[in-house]
Amino acid sequence: MSRYLAVALPDYGHLLPMLAVANELRQRGHTLAVVTVADRVDVVRSWGCDPLVLAPEVLPEGWLQTVDAGRAVLSGHALNRFSLEVFTEAVLGAVLADLPRIVEEFAPDTLLLDPYCYGAASVAAAAGVDAVGVEGALAPELVHGMRDPFEPWACQHRPPSWFRRIATAVFGHGRDRAMRPVRARLNRWRSEHRLSPIASVFEECSQLTRLRPQPRGFEPPGYRDDPSIHHCGAFISADRPVPGAFPWDRLDGRPVAYASLGTIAAARPEVFRAVAAACAAQSLQLVIGLGGHADALRSLELPGEPVIVGWAPQLELLERAAVCCTHAGLNTTLEALWHGVPLLAMPAGFDQPGVARRIELSGSGLVVPPERATAEELGVALGRLRDESAFRAAAERLRDEMRAAGGVAQAADRVERSR
């Protein structure tokens, strides 16, 4: 049996896929701990994993809630810029300051790394510890003919121009240029620890074996296979803990529309009002999972009397759902596709525009950006997703591909074979 140390960003979209892989390895008898921030200790423990708190003096309890409150009212470039300055740089500082101590004390055989948790791969290299990348978001590398997944939705349909491709080749793409302060800080640390500098923060994990939760069929045209990347299928654990009870008796027999718009979307009630009105008009019963922020909507009188809960049993609801409304976070997107459920995507920021474009290209759903998310437009999209069989057929093809790949069991197998 081996000792594994998992390191992921504390956002649920990154943490939950990592916990699914960690839990699978733990159940196979391996010794395992998860590095996390003080605000996520209880979440890690609920999975039966041992939490190791990262730099509590730098990222104290309550820090993540403050960051989420700031992100909740932003979208697009403003959201990405705020996250870089307030979240990414703080996590990098904590990783470089405290992860070496944790690695030395825990003495893992292998680190399981979130590629977006910058600095973790450098710490592993400096300590001489093997590492495997466990992806919880779209990979940072650009795909030929596709826009950067972090660019706004309005840009996603326009292929990069020749001028842009040349500029990217010479100067790096816009997100890489925005990350220069992170790269400079990381390279200073690498120099102090006798590691060669990197030209881009995205190079840090480029030589690692990486486990990808999406199926190969979800990759866009122009994607080129890489033998170090393994398309495992969604990282889903059947025994994932769900806080609280769900009112199953409130489901009345209408087709279910399950809405998971991300924990940082709870401060935008106008989006939920439009979704609720659209579902009521289409005779869909709306269930909203808010990730612990149910009180933000319970005071509103939403059309159709939707079922609103803080934490929803997402996997069980997706088994019953006719459609899934999502902010196009990769985790919820793949869990819906794992159940063959077509998607209505409303991307706001981060890699969500890129995920939404892949939903569209795969034929597994439709996209309505938040700025156009009126009840009328959402109603038209929901009606198509419910009534046109091609969307569900595309989602089911991706479901079958992921299940054949093996999902979290395949990911654990790859981790075990990596040593």
Does 157 lie in the same domain as 61? yes
Q: Is 224 exposed, middle or buried (0-12, 13-18, 19+ CB in 10 A)?
A: exposed
Does 409 lie in the same domain as 318? no
CATH number for 287: 3.40.50.2000
Q: Quick one: CA torsion of 172, 175, 180, 185, rounded to 10 degrees?
A: -130
Within-domain flag for 239 = no
* Number of other residues whose CB lies within 10 A of the CB of residue 141: 15
The pLDDT value recorded for residue 294 is 59
Rounded to 5°, the CA angle 402-404-406 comes to 75
Within-domain flag for 271 = yes
Q: Over its length of 419 residues, how does the chain's per-residue pLDDT go in tens digits?
A: 999 999 999 999 999 999 999 999 999 999 999 999 999 999 999 999 999 999 999 999 999 999 988 887 777 788 888 999 999 999 999 999 999 999 999 999 999 999 999 999 999 999 999 999 999 999 878 888 888 898 889 889 887 666 555 555 544 556 778 899 999 999 999 999 999 999 998 899 999 999 999 999 999 999 999 999 999 999 999 888 877 899 999 999 999 999 998 754 555 778 889 999 999 999 999 999 987 655 666 667 889 999 998 889 999 999 999 999 999 999 999 999 999 999 999 998 899 999 999 999 999 999 999 889 999 999 999 999 999 999 999 999 999 999 999 999 999 999 999 97
pLDDT digit string, tens, across residues 82-98: 999 999 999 999 999 99
The pLDDT value recorded for residue 165 is 58
Contact 277, 247 (CB under 8 A): no
Does 130 lie in the same domain as 96? yes
Within-domain flag for 237 = no
Task: Report the candidate in 154, 385, 146 with the shortest Cα–Cα distance to residue 284.
Answer: 385
In angstroms, what CA-CA distances link 382 with 122, 136, 404?
A: 45, 27, 29
Structure tokens at 402: 């992921």
Q: How far apart are CA 352 and CA 195, in angstroms?
A: 33
Contact 88, 120 (CB under 8 A): no
Does 204 lie in the same domain as 77? yes
Does 275 lie in the same domain as 128? no
Does 309 lie in the same domain as 174? no
Does 136 lie in the same domain as 196? yes
Does 48 lie in the same domain as 187? yes
Residue range(s) defining the domain that contains residue 56: 3-232+405-417
The pLDDT value recorded for residue 170 is 43
Task: Report the candidate in 391, 414, 417 with the shortest Cα–Cα distance to residue 213.
Answer: 414
User: Could you report how far apart the first and last alpha carbons of the chain are, in Å?
Assistant: 11
Within-domain flag for 290 = yes
Q: Is 233 exposed, middle or buried (0-12, 13-18, 19+ CB in 10 A)?
A: buried
Tally of structural domains, the chain:
2
pTM for this predicted structure = 0.93
Does 215 lie in the same domain as 166? yes
The pLDDT value recorded for residue 409 is 98
Does 221 lie in the same domain as 314? no
Amino acid at 398: L
Nearby residues of 166 by Cβ (< 8 Å), 6 or more positions away: none
Average pLDDT in the chain:
92
Within-domain flag for 172 = yes
Does 256 lie in the same domain as 211? no
Amino acid at 297: L
Contact 374, 277 (CB under 8 A): no
Does 255 lie in the same domain as 208? no
